[in-house]
A and B are shown apart, each in its own frame.
Chain A
Amino acid sequence: MRIAGAFFDGTTSRRRAAVLEVGDDTSLAVVVDGERVRTGQWRDADVATRVGDTPRMIRFADGAAFETTDNAAVDAVLARFGAAPVARLVHRLESAWRVTLATLLVVAGITYGMAVWGVPFLAARMAASVPPSLERAISHHALATLDGSMLKPTGLDPPTQERLRARLATLVAELTPRPAVTLALRASPRVGPNAFALPSGDIVVTDELVRFALNDDEIVAVLAHEVGHVVHRHGLRQVLQASAVALVLASVTNDAGAVTSIAAGLPTVLLQSGYSRGFEREADSFALELLRARGIDPGHFANIIERLEAKEGGMPSGLGFLSTHPSAADRVAPFRAGPLDPRGGSGRRRAPAWNADARDSSKPSDSCRLL
């Protein structure tokens, strides 16, 4: 077999027209102007793997090289004398449109699967292997930072503070393992009535929320939700998921130049808010179980959520996919259905399949609530 190309001697950039002669006995020779400038065995030459239709190099040990654009001929020789099948497989994947279509589906499927199940699953597993002491160290400064900016010292009277601390202690008393949660009461006119949990187990409740609540049970219901965030380690998982998404996006878009980093921001926002809604549902279901176990009416949670929604207004219709929380209507439904509910659900003994209901909800809600 004869393959046309060019020969470089390895010491200069001089390009000479050449022919590669491959014998049936796997011998090869590079012929320039009728002279055999290199001879050897096919197996000793370093044949580059094929990348598209770019020129292909066959290198010799002394640095000399034969270059050809006749990729098909080189492939034919490789097929005949045997070559690493893996190296040829990649080019085959890259060359057929039918394979491309299948690859596209695979990529779309994997991307979807990674985004919806893979990243949350891996983050949860990784979070489980991080010792809680490390997690507390990580968020050690978080509350201090917030205290210097958004949060002010609480203005609640000491008996109220003590009462709420005792309620939180009772709430988590029988959980195993017992979560290391502490109540951090803070005034914050800027944040308004709200509560949020830090990975350290500090549950921040604003004075505004305490005043907004009609009774202590409503606050306890909110605390149960926040304990859910702490127990399921949502803070740490959020950070891990954000890093994973950033890493994947960076590796996908790195060769398209800086412009695409703007474009990459959009899917990041969508994914993060989607993950956040998942965490809220998990914390809600935890709160529902905990409140029932303590004999506290889950309806209190529904009541305070609905009043907050009415006070602050929801997300504009159709923008629910940007929201960090599921819609209030979807969230309160399971809490209304319990046997202790004084309103509608008196006759029913069990909650409906609220979990499934909540999962496919995509209705709008408030985007900035931290609860």
Chain B
Amino acid sequence: METGVALAVEARPLVQVLPFQFVGTASAYFRIWLVNLALSLVTLGIYSAWAKVRTRRWFYGNTWVGDSSFAYLANPLAVLKGRLLVVAFLVAQSILAEIHPVGAAVGSIVIFLLTPVLIARGLAFRARNTAYRNVRLRFSGTAGQAATAYILWTTLSGVTLGLAHPAARCRQARFLLNNLHLGSTPFALTLGTGAFYRVWSRLALYVAAGFWIGRLVPRVVPAARTLDASDVALVRLVALGLAVLLGIWHARTATTNLIWSNATLGPHRFESRVGPWKLLWLYLGHTVAIVASLGLLIPWASVRATRYRASCMRVHVAGSLDDFVAAQGEDVAAAGDEAADLLDVDMGL
């Protein structure tokens, strides 16, 4: 373990920069993953709840900041209950969709109306079961706020053909962080919409580059001179499409960096430096490796990606990490957690 580098900033309390470190190895996770898989198969999926908890416990327990690691505390039985509930609901809905279109439509509306509740509860469950130095996280966001951040802003983003997307990301990040607490110490994100638009404005550069490359390639590359009009149009379309995809990838990674580099936890602040191209290269390599190994390298890929992502995060500790005070909170059911997994809502870490 490296220790944090101490820096004195002005005359204020000593600021220590502590890196996030992931110390788990692929060979250790491979065995846990394989046993999870085997027991889940043997028990017809029942064990998958325990598998999920053990996996999270392993990843959290191997992620260190300073002298302590994170801990995941969920009860597998709660996860199993949540899983069964979600599966039962989805099965009922898909059967209904086949035999009774009107009933299915009603079901879809119910799901739609429940989504914000599930998002809020899912985030609360995950936060409540995450601890650092024996102090749990707490998420206080309401279903109403979730509806605004996710349903309303996602809809607005769609209606405006993505023009509102940076604003939506801003609202969602503020919803996630401004409702999160470590014990009784709040996280905060006071970032305005403008910063998000600045990050996403680089997409315009990518679009312009794609446009010009698409125009120039058929003229400059000798082999391309013989192409007919429809082939040229295809080349332009592919160049533009690729440029947009790369631009979106770049902007998304930069958004993660933006959010976490401006997030605070009480007097402490964070710093995130994920390299978009490094991450993309990592993921592409993982995909090739997973396919070539018939899936056996999935654990290796998970560990490698987690290690890289952790290495990009730091916390600037002002003073000491000893002063977080635990808050009293009630238990939260896990059904929302499963739903949040399905909907892919997460803290972005």
What residues make up the interface of A, taking CB atoms closer than 8 Å to B? 6, 8, 10-15, 51-55, 57, 63-65, 67, 90, 93-95, 97, 100, 103-104, 106-107, 110-111, 114, 134, 137-138, 247, 251-257, 259-260, 262-263, 266
Q: How far is the CB of B294 from chain A (nearest CB, A)?
A: 8
Partner of B62, one of A12, A52, A93, A266: A52
Report the separation of the CA atoms of residues A32 and B106 in the bound assembly, to the nearest whole angstrom. 60
Residues of chain B in range 114-147 having any CB-CB distance to chain A below 8 Å:
132-135
Q: Is the CB of A252 within 8 A of B295?
A: yes
Sample (25) of A-B pairs whose CB atoms are under 8 Å apart? A8-B135, A11-B326, A13-B183, A13-B324, A14-B322, A14-B323, A51-B54, A52-B29, A54-B62, A63-B134, A63-B326, A90-B39, A93-B39, A103-B34, A103-B35, A103-B38, A106-B42, A107-B37, A107-B41, A252-B37, A253-B298, A255-B33, A257-B286, A257-B305, A260-B286
| B68 in contact with A255 (CB, 8 Å) | no
Nearest B residue to A63 by beta-carbon distance? B326
- B134 contacts A13, CB within 8 Å? yes
* Interface residues of B, count at CB 8 A: 55
B197 interface residue per 8 A CB criterion: no
Q: Is the CB of A52 within 8 A of B32?
A: yes
CB-CB under 8 A from B61, the residues of chain A are 51-52, 54-55
> Chain B nearest CB: distance from A52 CB in Å?
5
Contacts of A253 in B (CB 8 A): 295, 298
Known contacts A55-B69, A107-B38, A255-B55; 15 additional CB pairs below 8 A are A8-B135, A10-B134, A13-B326, A15-B67, A52-B24, A64-B134, A65-B134, A106-B42, A107-B37, A137-B98, A252-B295, A253-B295, A257-B305, A259-B286, A259-B287
Alpha-carbon distance A103/B31, docked complex (angstroms): 9
Residue of A at shortest CB range from B48?
A251
Distance (whole angstroms) from the CB of B318 to the closest CB of chain A: 14
List B residues at the A interface (Cβ < 8 Å): 24, 28-35, 37-42, 45, 48, 50, 54-55, 57-58, 60-62, 67-69, 71, 98-99, 132-135, 182-183, 283-284, 286-287, 290-291, 295, 298, 301-302, 305, 321-326, 341
Q: Which of A54, A93, A254 contacts B35, CB < 8 Å?
A: A93
Provide the residues of chain A in CB contact with B28, threshold 8 Å. 52-53
Complex formed: what's the CA distance from A90 to B286 in Å? 28
CB distance from A149 to the nearest CB of B (A): 19
Residue of A nearest to B288 (CB): A263
Q: Are A106 and B134 in contact (CB under 8 A)?
A: no
Interface of B (DSSP majority class): helix
The 7 closest A-B pairs by CB, nearest first: A54-B61, A8-B134, A13-B324, A13-B133, A14-B322, A256-B298, A138-B98
In the complex, the answer to whether B326 meets A259 with C-beta atoms within 8 Å is: no
**Contact with B321, one of A13, A55, A63, A137 (Cβ below 8 angstroms):** A13
Q: List residues of chain A with CB within 8 A of the CB of B135.
A: 8, 12-13
Name the residue of chain A whose CB is nearest to the CB of B133.
Answer: A13
Taken together as a complex, chains A and B put the C-alpha atoms of A140 and B83 apart, in Å, by 31
Complex formed: what's the CA distance from A321 to B67 in Å? 54
Question: Which of chain B's residues has its CB closest to A133's CB?
Answer: B99
Whether the pair A134, B58 counts as a contact (CB closer than 8 A) is no
Contacts of A252 in B (CB 8 A): 37, 295, 298
Q: Kindly state the separation between the CA atoms of A134 and B298 in the bound complex, as whole angstroms.
A: 40
- Within 8 Å CB of A8, what residues of B? 133-135
Evaluate contact between B323 and A12: CB separation under 8 angstroms.
Answer: yes
Q: A13-B134, A263-B291 are in contact. Are A100 and B30 (CB under 8 A)?
A: yes
Please report the C-alpha to C-alpha distance between residue A57 and residue B71 in the assembled complex, in whole angstroms: 9
Q: Are A263 and B37 in contact (CB under 8 A)?
A: no
With A55-B61, A94-B35 as contacts: A15 and B68 at CB distance below 8 Å = yes
Of the candidates B33, B34, B67, B326, which one forms a contact with A10 in the assembled complex, judged by CB atoms under 8 Å apart? B326
Residue from the list B31, B34, B134 in contact with A67, Cβ < 8 A:
B134
* Inter-chain contacts of B325 with A (CB < 8 A): 11-13
State A260–B45 Cα separation when bound (angstroms): 20
Question: What residue in chain A is nearest B30 (Cβ atoms)?
Answer: A100
Bound complex: CA A110 to CA B44 (Å) = 11
Whether the Cβ atoms of B34 and A104 lie closer than 8 Å is: yes
Please determine whether B134 and A260 come into contact, CB atoms closer than 8 angstroms.
Answer: no
* In contact, B32 and A251 (Cβ under 8 angstroms): no
Minimum Cβ distance to chain A for residue B15 (Å): 18
Judge whether A94 and B32 touch: CB under 8 Å: yes
A95 and B32 alpha carbons, distance in the complex (Å): 8
> A12 to B326, Cβ gap below 8 A?
yes
Instruction: Quote the shortest CB–CB distance from A241 to chain B (angstroms).
Output: 15
Find A94's partner among B31, B182, B286, B302 (CB 8 Å cutoff). B31
Give the contacting residue for B133; candidates A15, A51, A255; CB below 8 A: A15
Nearest-CB residue, chain A, relative to B62:
A54
Residues of A within 8 A of B286 (CB): 256-257, 259-260
List chain A residues, Cβ under 8 A from B305.
257
Verify B69–A54 contact, CB threshold 8 A.
Answer: yes
| Alpha-carbon separation in the docked complex, A65 to B48 (Å) | 28
In the complex, the answer to whether A256 meets B301 with C-beta atoms within 8 Å is: yes
- Which residue of chain A has its CB nearest to the CB of B297? A256
CA distance A106 to B34 in the complex (A): 10
* Residue contact B32 to A110, C-beta cutoff 8 Å: no
- B291 neighbours in A (Cβ, 8 Å): 263, 266
From residue B30, how far is it (CB to closest CB) to chain A in Å? Answer: 7
Q: A13-B183, A52-B62, A259-B287 are in contact. Are A100 and B31 (CB under 8 A)?
A: yes
In whole Å, how far is B128's beta carbon from the nearest beta carbon of chain A?
A: 14
For B58, the chain A residues whose CB sits under 8 A away are: 51-52, 54
B residues near A10, Cβ cutoff 8 Å: 134, 326
Residues of B near A12 (CB, < 8 A) are 135, 322-326
Once A63-B326, A65-B134 are accepted as A-B contacts, the answer to whether A110 and B98 lie under 8 Å apart by CB is no
User: Cα distance A19–B244 when bound, in Å?
Assistant: 57
